[in-house]
Amino acid sequence: MSIRQFFSRLTVVGIEVALIRQNRSNTMSKTTLDIEKQLSKLGKEIQQFVEKVVPASAEKGHFDPSCDIIEGDNEFAIYMDLPGLTKKMIRLVIKNRVLTISGDRELYSGGEFTFKRSERRQGSFSRSFALPDEADESTVNAKFKDGVLQITLAKTDEEEEDEAQYIPIK
């Protein structure tokens, strides 16, 4: 749960408690009503503070895609979630036995938008993976379908020379 969600829930809970107490007894004292008003006001102030500290905006930042690395009997595979990207927006490079996957995710391009809330991440990303000694760089294969990048490398017992290699995405 994020800080924003926590304090939002805290505010809602405070208001719910105040409403339940009001419904239970119509003969509440003035002091009890004042305390509940102060709690409600405090909840709103906390919510405003969180909005300032953790803004809900669509500013570019760092997009950190999730991935799985799988080892089979004959190959290694990397699956990376890249929603909202096309294969032309992704760059794959192998150099010195390091596979680097990079790109830029832009969800909104200009326009006359006013964001009320934006929780999806956008911006540039770069992930690098050191290839195991038994990975054969010459067999690298990359596919991109439905927002998932799949990279496979066969296993071998031989060692390869280190040269930069650009991988096309199918």
pLDDT of residue 165: 74
pLDDT in tens, the chain (170 residues): 566 555 555 555 555 555 555 555 555 556 666 777 777 788 778 877 766 665 555 455 567 789 999 999 999 999 999 988 898 999 999 998 999 999 988 766 666 776 677 677 777 888 999 999 899 999 999 999 999 999 999 998 765 555 677 788 87
Helix, strand, coil shares, percent, the chain, to 5: 30, 35, 35
Q: Which residues contact 131 (CB under 8 A, 6 or more apart)?
A: 76, 94, 97, 98, 99, 137, 153
pLDDT of residue 58: 47
The CA distance from 23 to 43, in Å, is: 20
pLDDT of residue 79: 97
Q: What's this model's pTM, rounded to 2 decimal places?
A: 0.56
pLDDT of residue 62: 64
Question: How does DSSP assign 50-115, residue by residue?
Answer: HHHHS------EE----EEEEE-SSEEEEEEE-TT--GGGEEEEEETTEEEEEEEE-S--SSS---
The CA distance from 151 to 70, in Å, is: 10
Collapsing DSSP states into helix, strand and coil, what is residue 167?
A: coil
